Amino acid sequence: MDARPLSPPAGPTPSGAPRNDPPATAGGARSLHRFANPGRFLRLTDALMPWLWAAAILVTGIGAAWALFLSPADWQQGETVRIMHVHVPMAWLAMGGYTGLGILSIMSLIWRHPLADLTARELSPVGAAVTALCLATGSLWGKPMWGTWWVWDARLTSVLVLFFLWLGHAALVRAFDDMERGARAGAILALVGLVNVPIVKFSVDWWNTLHQPASVTRIDAPGMHVDLLYPLLVNALGFSLLFGAVVLARTRSAVMERRVRALQTARARRAEAA
Amino acid sequence: MMTRKKRRMWILLLCALGLGSATALTLTAFQDNLVFFRSPSDIMAERPGPDRAFRLGGLVEAGSVEREPAVSGQRPTVRFRVTDGAHAIAVTYQGVLPDLFREGQGVVTMGRLGVDGTFRASEVLARHDETYMPPEVADALKRSGHWNPAEGAAPPPATWNTMDPARPAAAGRTGS
């Protein structure tokens, strides 16, 4: 099943799975499967990658300099507030990335989109890493400000659950010999875990927690002075670009790995036949 | 081909609906257990017994903090009142307070309510609110009388979040 539509057209596909071949009948399905073509994906991203890496490094560089040297301290937290410029983007990426995993899982379950399976597989270890960074920086920030490394309030606990969901997805998709079955199981887990995303987001509003409510996405106006807000937004953009670049690079190498394996299988088969 | 995809879509939607409502029901049922702390008003409405440990949260009432002179070899004792605007509860605590502790600051304290109505805390955590501003802006708001941090939360952020920290006084006047 490794060599699903990702294999080059040469040779008969092993363990024929006709339902997976995308003949693309309906309009919506056709447009989706256009991007499912791994050859096109590699060509498109090949042109994109250098620009994405350059933009990611440039914006995170500007963000780091701004956050460390140019932005002011907070009136009561002092210099500790600078942890925010890593902590908050990591939290946003943990939640936004998981929402992306949910979308990929829907594409995988409904349209059997092979590139969505691969992207989901390569996304979850990166998602687990940013969630771990969010938890670690939050803990380092909590000790000097709140007076504790950790409490079991609704926000912190739901983010810990999010971390376990990322880890669980990464492990589950790799736990099957049959990659497609692993992808299916992972997609179901990811979608079940999607209920946790609104819980993380609104935990600070629904229940009282030690963690404070949102500053940036308040209804009236951000509860943060622009001198602290702008570098935060630059860092959020920079880390998002970096996140995207890492995930795309991982997906690209996974596609190429799959191609190499398919070619090797085809060659072995030819040698056997000869 | 279409019907199969449509069917998968419907199954997924139904599962999402079922799972979503199950989660919502569970969370509503556990509403009371998911709160991290209780407010003074909660305590007044339903007073826990003296042997029950729980968390009390609120703001440190302005003018209520009394620090007892430290006896050598012992950790300092501090008395203050925790308020939510409607009710206040007296708290005593022996130990080191977090840096952010001050009058008007949010706190979450763990301990037991004595028969005399005083809450004996074994742990005091600072609860930071969602406002962030440079020291110059905070000073300008305090000087212009728009905000006394000991009295509680900062004024609406729209009045200060674009204030120029280099010329805070001028910006503060136009912002009022």
Measured in angstroms, the CA of A100 and the nearest CA of chain B are apart by 16
Do B52 and B123 fall within a single domain?
yes
Angle at B60 between CA B55 and CA B65, to 5 degrees: 115
Domain ranges of chain A: 48-273
Range with lowest mean pLDDT among A33-37, A116-120, A141-145, A269-273: A33-37
Do B50 and B102 fall within a single domain?
yes
Do B148 and B122 fall within a single domain?
no
Measured in angstroms, the CA of A178 and the nearest CA of chain B are apart by 21
Chain B residues closer than 8 Å to A224 by CB: 130-133, 157, 161
- A239 pLDDT above the threshold of 90: yes
Residue A18's pLDDT is what? 40
Residue A119's pLDDT is what? 95
* Whether domain A48-273 has CATH 1.20.120: yes
Q: Report the pLDDT averaged over residues B30-56.
A: 86
> Quick one: tokens of A24?
């693309």
Do B85 and B22 fall within a single domain?
no
Mean pLDDT of chain B: 85
Better-predicted residue by pLDDT, A57 or B135: A57
Among chain A residues, CA nearest to B23:
A195
Stretch 96-135 of chain A: residues touching chain B, C-beta under 8 Å:
106, 109-111
Query: For chain B, how many structural domains are there in total?
Result: 3
Chain B residues closer than 8 Å to A73 by CB: 134-135
User: Rounded CA gap, A229 and B156, in Å?
Assistant: 16
Do B60 and B10 fall within a single domain?
no
**B132 to A72: CB separation less than 8 angstroms, yes or no:** no
Give A101's pLDDT tier (boundaries 50, 70, 90).
Answer: very high
- A19 pLDDT above the threshold of 50: no
At B76 the three-state DSSP class reads coil
Measured in angstroms, the CA of B19 and the nearest CA of chain A are apart by 7
Q: Report the pLDDT averaged over residues B7-15.
A: 88
Chain B residues closer than 8 Å to A111 by CB: 5
- B168 pLDDT above the threshold of 60: no
Does an H or E element contain B121, and which?
strand B119-127
Does an H or E element contain B124, and which?
strand B119-127
Do B96 and B158 fall within a single domain?
no
Can you give the residue range of the structural domain that contains B27? 2-33
Give A198's pLDDT tier (boundaries 50, 70, 90).
Answer: very high
CB of A147 within 8 Å of a chain B CB? The answer is yes
Give B172's pLDDT tier (boundaries 50, 70, 90).
Answer: very low
User: Rounded CA gap, A161 and A175, in Å?
Assistant: 20
**A224 to B157: CB separation less than 8 angstroms, yes or no:** yes
> Quick one: tokens of B160?
């200060």
Do B95 and B162 fall within a single domain?
no
- A112 pLDDT above the threshold of 90: no
Residue A9's pLDDT is what? 44
CB of A153 within 8 Å of a chain B CB? The answer is yes
> Residue A60 to residues A47, A100, A225: CA-CA distances in angstroms?
21, 22, 21
Chain A residues closer than 8 Å to B139 by CB: 75
> Quick one: tokens of B22?
């199950």
Do B141 and B170 fall within a single domain?
yes
Judging by beta carbons within 10 Å of its beta carbon (0-12, 13-18, 19+), is residue A93 exposed, middle or buried?
buried
Q: What ipTM was reported for this prediction?
A: 0.84
Task: Give percent above pLDDT 70 in chain A.
Answer: 87
Q: Report the pLDDT averaged over residues B75-89.
A: 90
Residue B1's pLDDT is what? 53
Q: What single string gives the DSSP state of each residue in A203-241?
A: HHHHS--SSPPPSTT-SSS-SB-HHHHHHHHHHHHHHHH
pLDDT tens per residue across span A130-145: 999 999 999 999 999 9
**Residue B102's domain is classified under what CATH number?**
2.40.50.140
Instruction: Give 3-state DSSP helix, strand, coil % of chain B, rounded to 5.
Output: 35, 25, 40
Among chain B residues, CA nearest to A208:
B35
- A152 pLDDT above the threshold of 50: yes
Q: Is the dihedral of CA B21, B22, B23, B27 positive or negative?
A: positive
Can you give the pTM of this predicted structure?
A: 0.85
CB of A228 within 8 Å of a chain B CB? The answer is yes
User: Rounded CA gap, A33 and B29, in Å?
Assistant: 44
Do B123 and B46 fall within a single domain?
yes
Give A228's pLDDT tier (boundaries 50, 70, 90).
Answer: very high
Residue A15's pLDDT is what? 40
Do B71 and B11 fall within a single domain?
no
- B107 pLDDT above the threshold of 90: yes
Range with lowest mean pLDDT among A24-28, A259-263, B69-73, B139-143: A24-28
CB of B164 within 8 Å of a chain A CB? The answer is no
Give B173's pLDDT tier (boundaries 50, 70, 90).
Answer: very low
Do B119 and B148 fall within a single domain?
no
- B171 pLDDT above the threshold of 60: no
Does an H or E element contain B122, and which?
strand B119-127
Instruction: Give 3-state DSSP helix, strand, coil % of chain A, rounded to 5.
Output: 75, 0, 25
**B31 to A29: CB separation less than 8 angstroms, yes or no:** no
Do B121 and B140 fall within a single domain?
no
Mean pLDDT of chain A: 87
**A210 to B127: CB separation less than 8 angstroms, yes or no:** yes
